[in-house]
Structure 1
């Protein structure tokens, strides 16, 4: 089962890759998952969307098969001003069918809310894209407080492991169910 873990932040000095690598490492412990880490900062997707009759930019064409091949997604997002970052919205808007009938888990981080406002908004967007946002999330409030003395993150005993396990259990279940459904009956939006 292919799991695409998407780093949503492209900001200089961002924390997203730390969270994404940590989550991907947790997911990679599951034998049924193959991880594809997608960093939006590296994809260089254009900020301006083309019209439907215009050619697809090369950067968009390169990412499309990776998204299409995924059976499930994990979006690792910060919360900026009670929402998710603009480059993530741009990435969501560049694609459509690639998201259809696939589950999405949200891993959010931020101040006291842990990014839950961003996660709530993403649920609405994924519904419009015919994706299934699973119930459980991994929310990381005040994530900067979870560094260990040696500089590693998160510190042992942070309690995040249980949230990851529950989220992955749900995500894998939905991914298997929706993959079977897509194979037997092509999804029609």
Structure 2
């Protein structure tokens, strides 16, 4: 006898190696959403070797290093930058609203699990001057679908603006990825 006749169980099984191969060989995208449910969002991320912003979001994050090394840069409540090293096969739990910048090479992959955003919750992306650590720019997004790749959209907005990349305190210009100086 089925005690819960109306319960429909969706239990996706994913070949993570296949997903990593797809991200490496078949697409320019750097993320692959595995599922998005009300209380759980899960995706595989391929390294963004150029990543420089600090992302704050209202959810916890669990990051598991599938392949390669993750250097998770993060900021303390007083703004000091720290780095947590997450070797392949290890995972890290990150509380909500910690400004963080996951940095890992193009052949490294992370499995990321977090809570899907609730209505009205926002994600923030901050860039800081490499010379004086002054805040350069903030991008704000409401992330209703992680498949829209909000990190890439924030990067496009930031790096396509010389004004956003120029420090108002010391005048240093953050080079865009691919610039000769980068």
TM-score (norm 2): 0.29
Higher strand content, 1 or 2: 2
Higher helix content, 1 or 2: 1
